[in-house]
Every structure is written in structure tokens, then in C-alpha cells.
Chains A and B, each alone.
Chain A
């Protein structure tokens, strides 16, 4: 792989943004990213890619509304109906063909515009076999959490500690929407959503936009003093059927990490990764994902978390940004929030939460209920 991130742009993440439209959010992030990379969208950028899903946006054909605010009219523009990492990987592939030297990637969330988040999630369930039960779609996460806890002997309290850690990490992330000093009891005693999943185990929704500028090796060295190289990437989908998947482990994350590690030459992820940002849509997912991507053995994540191994100053800092739980659930853009944290850390621009001597980082994503789709990206500040 010979593609690097040479520009980043972002809005802050907020629980509601009645003052701006999604177009204005995209514009703000895009202008910052283009300025950071020192490129003009009209002259330098070959292709523009947005990760977006119609139902989240409230449009039938969302890509119609993408080009203007990115400076991309009458240019190669497309959407990827997938998470932000899939959009980013599309950009990498486009550069790797030799067709473009510079591409821009965008994803955003305007979750506060949604009238019914659970209604939309329900519409992702199979219309014949699952949706017709007419219950809250979080039953899928409740069932999975139950299976994960019983199979791995992880406790609800350990899951609650994920929430406490991530919200605490978010206190030092000026972009984060939901930083807090929260106690384990507060998480444990919050309203039950789908037993054993309680209200605070769920990541709260937030609005925001993120843009990256990627460049080929030659251009990256010209454009940036600190290019962040994309060393390994993979996205994978497991079965769409709830009925036939493995409920105790995240198979998609296992497969995606295997391929990404191979590309990046990572043999021992625990030793070689200086930080990881994993998907924490629900508290238990962070633990499940850490096991799937080989940061620890199956069933060990909860214990290691309790021992502080995943704290910011621990052996493998996990979700230093605050993750979805602390920074806010940005829907398809959350995976780019993970990448953003990795880039800032690897550049040495992470301020108070900077991990010393961070050289290699990983961002892992999951697309949420009811999917078994996820991606993995390895980044490094060394070519």
C-alpha cells in the first residue's frame, strides 16, 4: 500500500445542531481538510467519496446532495452505502489503480434530524423473519450481549467499566459530545433497554462531519510534513441472518483484522499496535471486538479492562478518543472518527490525550444492528 492521509478536517461533535444543515457541516469539515492538505478541490482532487445511507439521511437517493458543499460539482463523485471506512478504502483503491493522485473522503451524521432512530434500525431487520416481531431492534444487542457474557464469563460490571473509561477519555477530547465522570453504579442502575443491556451501555447519537484527503506516495511526500500511511485494510461481511451467525464472537472483525494485519506485516497486534480505536456502539462490543482482533484471548478483555490495561496509560490504549460512547455515535461517520483519532495521535497532535511515541494504530468498525459487517484499517507514521 502506498497511500497516505495528508489532510484532515472535522466539525466538533454535538448532540444537536439546529444551527447548521448537514451541507454546512460537510462544508466546514471539507474546507478544513483541504486547507490542512494544501489542495484545491477544483484543481487537485481527482475523486470525492461519501459514506452514507439513505435512511439515516432521510432521502431516497442521498448522493444527489453531496457535490456542491465539497467543491465537487461536475467531478467524479460517488457515495458508498456503507460505513466511513468502506468509503475510505474505496478511495485507497481508486488511488492504487493509478487513476487519481488525490481523493477526498467524507462521512457525517445529522442524527438529531431523525424522528425515530429505532424505527429506522427496525427497518434494517429482515422484513419477514425478524421485523414482524415488532419489538425494539435493540433486542438483537441484548441477545448478543447475553450470549457473550455467558460464554466468556464477562460481567455486566466489566461492560459498565467500558462506558466509564470511554466517557472519561472523552473529557480530554475537545470534539467529544458526551464526556463525563460517570460511576459504574450509574451505568449499572440505568434503565434496562433489553436485558442485560441498559441505557448507558448504548452510545448516544451525535451530529458531525469528517473529511480526509488521501494522496499517492509521490504526492503525499510533497503535500505533507507528516503523512500518515495506510498499511493494511480490509472490510468483510458475514451472514445477514440473525439466526445463523455466531453470537458470542465478532467473526467479521476476526476475518477483517487477519487480512489487515497480513497486509501491514503485523504478527503480534498487542505488541505492535500503540493504540486501537474499536467500535463501541454498545459497551460489550468493545470487549468482543478486542478479542476478535487479537488484542487478547477470548474471554479476557473484561478482566484486562478492569486491570487498566486498556486505559490511556495502559498497555494497549483503547478508544482514547472516547469512542462512540464518549465522543458520540456518529452512525456511518464514527469509523472515520476512529481514523481521525489515529491520525491525530500518529501526527502527535492529540493534545492532552497524546500517547507517547505512537507509531502504529488500528481503527476497527462495525455497521451496527442487524449487520455482521465490519472493517479494519492499520495506520502508521512510518512509511
Chain B
């Protein structure tokens, strides 16, 4: 269980004070929705470690995540765009998720394996710049599989996709969440995405999360 209790943050002395509390179970998607400017990105950055809360806790199965910097937190990110480095191939982008010390042969095998798992056989050597939006999100998900992190943070990951691709990628996220046991947190204001994926939902308003 991923549990946040009274994660408090404010951007300045007289700014809005955020106070976040939520729970997310393994193997399911927890959605956080809210209007633009309600603090979704702030919550995202707090969970990821890009912002430091003034107080509160963020526990994963009893382990406090707050002292950990972003690179060592057990999470992967999937953003709306810029999830890949366009000048690298799909293989090289996915390979960035391999643990240090992995041999070349083993790395190659594992990259091919995860690309096949997300339905992208045969495109490993294509440059990321030549991939479609949907393919790019799949490559990013493949990299996430390699990293074996417990939490998947999604920040409007389907916004730039057309309807058909959106449904496909959504289904893939749902399937991988269940099979890999991820604590997936979906930050989005798209009702369709939330309705299709979320087992639990919170609404963000006036700096607070309310179960919906």
C-alpha cells in the first residue's frame, strides 16, 4: 500500500497551502482529478521527489519515501510527452532502464523481451523521433517494465494521443498495472481515462484530496 498522510506544501508565505492524503493499492490505478491549477502537478512533483513537503509522510509498505531523492525512489514516470530522447533508438531509450552492470547480450535480450510485451517487436532500432505518439508511450512503458519499480506515476499520459491509440495505451497501462502489481497513480482531468482505469478516485480542490 502506498499511503500519503498530510503531505503539506506551499510555494510561498502567502500562497495556497496544499495538504494531501491518499492511499493507493498495489495492482490497481488510483486517479487524481481536478481543475487546472488545482495542484495536480504539485502533488505529482511531491510524490516523485522533485518538491520537498514541509511535513507529512509518504509510506510504501511501511517504508518512508520522503528522504529518498527522485532517482532512488521506487517509481517510474510517464508524462504527457518528452518521455523519450528523440535522438536515441527505441532500444537505447528502453536500455536506459537497465540496471548498471547488465551485460550487453543480457541487456539486448531483456530489451527485446519488454518491447515484445508492449507490442513493439521489430522497431527496436528505429530512432524515437520517427515513432508515433502511441509507439513512444509504449516504449516508455517498456522501459518502466525493465526498471521493476513499485510505483508508476502518470501525468496526463494519454492527452496527446488520438482516441483509438488512447484506448489501446490505456488498456496496456491497466493490464501491466495488474500483472506487475504496480501502485499506479493517474493524474488527469480526463473523465474517460479515469472511468476506464481507476479503481479508486480522489478529487483535488482547494488544496485537498477528497475521495470520490
Do A and B form a real pair?
no
